[in-house]
Structure 1
């Protein structure tokens, strides 16, 4: 498995820092086949004009964000546009001080396509749309681009695309701005193009400013930003993409809001999104939200505290431990098995060796012992997460690489690491440890 050093570095450094890398995920994806297949089935429905809404639920470090980023990579390969944002105290779904609009801005800022996977793809999408229509017009009409009739034909195609938006809420103004952008693109007016992009990004603060610069008497606000997400989904389909996928993580930040009324307003926004996608009021749109079990299932402060959502999302009478329903709106992540974790650390060993240019020294037995030690901790079956195991293992790889004189087997058996091992009594009743390696702190 050959991996470019740029990607290898991003993978190792991100995982060691406890965050999910935005590139290189196919090199380290292990398990989660059922979850990925279920979400990609939703993607097929979205591409055909449907919509979907899912919650990904798992405790901190269990792989929620990793699964979201994996789906992000998959759908961009399928010609989808992806927008993603993590909620925070400053970013919510609804707020009185611009918190909802802040989430919208973050989503648009992170707008990504296969050719622009790192975000900032809005201008590229708009330019590609117009350029594509021009190429299509040339092929169909045979006219030269300098022919006066050519612009009229292009305008007709542009209006055909944006006319599909006029029936939607705020669709008329959205279509008007697309028209302004087209004329600015044609005339080479970069200043006007930038103003339209600024409006789409939600950066106009007053209607007066938008009216004077663009001639539209409306701006995107806390209350209606989601309507523009639905408009973008339909427009992107018209512009040649398969649809729009919205990824929102860290729902726990709504759970943490101290004011119960503010929390309810946010849950009401989730209910609106959920109903729109399931009732066919949204098209070409998928929404996936990630959160911890507590922030979803707590009936006092969580999503389930909003009765209309709890009645829609709670498991039925047939749900039970060990039985997965991947068609339910809430997907609960189960821990990766020991075997899957072993496969993962084997991949990380290979990537680490390629990054630093050395022959791997860890044997299969070393890796098995590492997994046994990690999962042998007291309470590991319910509390240990892939994030912790991965971080420990990369630290081990770093130490062994920088100290080649160390024996891995002895290092794993040292007292500094043996806190994780099941205790075994020696003949004298004392714990059997290897004190000569106590100085190695891993």
Structure 2
């Protein structure tokens, strides 16, 4: 398995730091085939004009964010646009002090496509849309691009797209901004294009400012940002993409909100999104949210504290341990088994040796002994997570690389490693990270 060094470096450094790498995921993906297949089935439905909503539930370090990023890579390869954001104290789904708008800004800032996988793809998408329409018009009419007839034909196609959005909430204003962007692009007015991008990013703080710059008397706010996400999904389909996937992680930050009324408003926003997708009010859009079991299932503060959501999401009578329903709105992640973790360590050892240009010394037997040791620790059956095992293993590889004469078997079986304990459930619940592995 050959892997470019820049990707190998990103993978090793990210995993060692306890975060999910944004690149190189196919090199280290192990297990989760059923979960990935279920989510990719949703993607097929979205591409056909449907919509989907899923929760990915697992404790810290169990693989929620890894699964989200894996799906992100898959759908971009299928000509989808992806927006993603982690919730935080400053970013929520609903707020009175800009927290909802902050989430929207983060989503748009992270807008990604296959050709722009690291975010910031909004201007690229708009320019590609105009370019595609011009190319289609030239092919259909045979007109020269510098004629007045060609410009009129292009404008007609532009307005066909714009008119299809007018019936949606805020569609008229969204369409008007697209018109301004098109005219600015045709006239080479980069300053005007920048102002439209600024508006779409939610960076205008007052209507007066937006009116002065663009002549529109509306701005994106905490209350209506989700309507613009739905508009983007419809527009992206018109712009020759297959749909929009929205990834929202760290739902625990809603669970942590101390004010119960504020929490309920956020859960109400989730209910709105859930109903829109399942009732056909939204098209060409998929929403996946990640959270811990506690932040979902706690009936006092979690998502299930909002009865309308609990009644829709809770498992039925036939759900039980060992039987996975991959068609349910909530997907519970089970731990990776011994065999899957062993395969993962083999992949990591290979990547590590390529990154630092050394002949791999650790054997398969050493890796198996390492996994046995990790899973043999007290409480590991319920508390150990892939993140902890991965960090321990990369640390082991670093030590072996820097100390080539070391006896690997003795190191793995040393008392200092044998008695290291996994996180307790209490401490795991308190742990917070930007991404989970």
Task: Give the TM-score taking structure 1 as reference length.
Answer: 0.95
5 Å-filtered alignment, 1:295-306, equals: 295-306=295-306
5 Å-filtered alignment, 1:6-405, equals: 6-405=6-405
Deviation string for 1:327-370 (max 9, x for gaps)? 00000000000100000000000000000001110001100000
> What is the Cα-based RMSD across aligned positions, in Å?
0.6
Cα shift at 1:413: 1.5
Higher relative contact order (CA 8 A, sep 6+): 2
The answer on whether the counterparts of 2:63 and 2:386 sit within 8 Å (CA) in structure 1 is: yes
Cα shift at 1:415: 1.6
Structure of higher CA gyration radius: 1
Aligned structure 1 segments of 4 or more residues deviating by more than 3 angstroms: none
Cα shift at 1:80: 0.1
Q: Aligned partners of 2:151, 2:344: CA distance in 1, in Å?
A: 55
Deviation string for 1:148-193 (max 9, x for gaps)? 1111000000001111100000000000000000000000000000
Q: Aligned partners of 1:175, 1:148: CA distance in 2, in Å?
A: 23
Return 5+ residue gaps in structure 1 as ranges: 422-442
Deviation string for 1:377-435 (max 9, x for gaps)? 000000000000000000000000000010100111112112159xxxxxxxxxxxxxx
The answer on whether the counterparts of 1:376 and 1:420 sit within 8 Å (CA) in structure 2 is: no
Q: Aligned partners of 2:173, 2:219: CA distance in 1, in Å?
A: 9
- Partner residue in 2 for 1:2: 2
Q: Aligned partners of 2:202, 2:355: CA distance in 1, in Å?
A: 41
Q: Aligned partners of 2:226, 2:153: CA distance in 1, in Å?
A: 33
Matched residue of 1:205: which SS? coil
Q: Aligned partners of 2:412, 2:212: CA distance in 1, in Å?
A: 68
Matched residues, number: 421
Matched residue of 2:53: which SS? strand
Does residue 419 (structure 1) correspond to residue 412 (structure 2)? The answer is: no
Q: Aligned partners of 1:266, 1:418: CA distance in 2, in Å?
A: 44
Matched residue of 2:325: which SS? coil
Task: Give the TM-score taking structure 2 as reference length.
Answer: 0.96
Q: Aligned partners of 2:148, 2:92: CA distance in 1, in Å?
A: 49
The answer on whether the counterparts of 1:94 and 1:269 sit within 8 Å (CA) in structure 2 is: yes
Cα shift at 1:101: 0.1
The answer on whether the counterparts of 1:374 and 1:420 sit within 8 Å (CA) in structure 2 is: no
The answer on whether the counterparts of 2:377 and 2:418 sit within 8 Å (CA) in structure 1 is: no
Q: Aligned partners of 2:348, 2:10: CA distance in 1, in Å?
A: 12
The answer on whether the counterparts of 1:62 and 1:386 sit within 8 Å (CA) in structure 2 is: yes
Q: Aligned partners of 1:194, 1:101: CA distance in 2, in Å?
A: 20
Q: Aligned partners of 2:221, 2:288: CA distance in 1, in Å?
A: 22
Q: Aligned partners of 1:119, 1:420: CA distance in 2, in Å?
A: 39
Q: Aligned partners of 1:306, 1:418: CA distance in 2, in Å?
A: 44
Q: Aligned partners of 1:108, 1:420: CA distance in 2, in Å?
A: 42
The answer on whether the counterparts of 2:165 and 2:171 sit within 8 Å (CA) in structure 1 is: yes
